[in-house]
Amino acid sequence: MTSIDPDTPRTDTSEETTAPPRRVPVAQAMRGAARQLGELLGTAPEAVSAMQPTPDGWVADVEVVELERVPETMTIMATYRVTLDSQGQLLGYERQHRYARGQLDRGR
């Protein structure tokens, strides 16, 4: 019978140790994208309008109010592209475009 020394590092090279981390579910990634962007910008996001898996995690488009106006249809909105890792942690963000809330999307 052999004994295993707990201080000796494992040299196991099975798939289990080399597999990439599992990606969080899309719903969890969506909530995380909105929450983390809101914390950075200091505002509550309105919606997540797009969500795409990537080899390394997720990319989301998040809609945010940038400047409230009256009437509400003139409120300035922005779309931010948010990059998340496979565990749903924010890696970066970039504003894609700004628009009036009442503006129709005409092929940008």
| Dist CA 16 CA 37 (whole Å) | 33
Q: Say how many domains are in the chain.
A: 1
Q: What is the pLDDT of residue 17?
A: 58
CATH, residue 40: 3.10.450
Q: What is the pLDDT of residue 107?
A: 61
Residue 59 domain flag: yes
Which range of residues forms the domain containing residue 59?
Answer: 22-100
Q: Say if 84 falls within a structural domain.
A: yes
pLDDT tens string 31-80? 999 999 999 999 999 999 999 999 999 999 999 999 999 999 899 999 99
pLDDT in tens, 6-28: 555 555 554 455 666 799 999 99
Q: Are 95 and 77 in contact (CB under 8 A)?
A: no
- Convert the pLDDT of each residue in 84-94 to its tens digit: 999 999 999 99
